[in-house]
Amino acid sequence: MRTRLAVAAIGMLLACAGRLAAADLPAPPPAEEERGIWAAIAYSNPDGKHGFFWGADKRQEAMDIALKHCQNAGGDGCTVVSVFRNHRHWDDDDNTGFPYNHCGALAVGEKTSGQFASWGAETAQTRREAEDLTLQACERTGQKCKIREWGCT
């Protein structure tokens, strides 16, 4: 009986020690396509609601939270309209082709009777460039647009 308790106690100690040692290990690096700090903008064209999130470790996390913010704002037709990321480390180039555009913006036009408002969402290396590209995209329909949201990771 004593031997069995001693063996059980040693087993528990070894199991706990293994978990403690594993806790000291650094977290594994993100998958190649997930490198960077991610952000997303969601927009609901029927009602003009939007949501934004930046600072995510994964693309899907940024998209999910931006959608949730849009829905929480009362958006009934929320979709992700822009996703962008920044380097977490200077050597983050993962050769996936997904650009490291650090900033993104959303512009929305004035709603006219019976029509959806024009909108645009673009990303770029700087806030100014992202806002300029976004306004150009939004104003292609002839509506005057304003920046509703911007962010840089």
3-state secondary structure of 148: strand
Query: Which contacts qualify for 117-124: CB closer than 8 Å, 24 or more apart?
Result: 117/45, 117/48, 117/143, 118/142, 118/143, 118/145, 119/43, 119/45, 119/81, 119/145, 120/145, 121/41, 121/43, 121/81, 121/82, 122/82, 123/82, 123/83, 123/84, 123/99
Tens digit of pLDDT at every position of the chain (153 positions): 555 544 444 555 444 444 444 445 555 555 556 778 899 999 999 999 999 999 999 999 999 999 999 999 999 999 999 999 887 666 666 677 777 788 999 999 987 766 778 999 999 989 999 999 999 999 998 889 999 999 888
| Strand partners for 145 | 109
In degrees rounded to 5, what are phi and psi of residue 35? -65, 140
Kindly list the domain boundaries of the chain, sorted by start residue: 32-89+99-152
Give, in order, the Cα–Cα distances in Å from 111 to each of 16, 18, 64, 115, 132: 62, 61, 27, 7, 21
In one-letter notation, the amino acid at residue 66 is A
0.85 cut: is pTM over it?
no
Separation of alpha carbons 130 and 136, rounded Å: 10
Separation of alpha carbons 62 and 39, rounded Å: 5
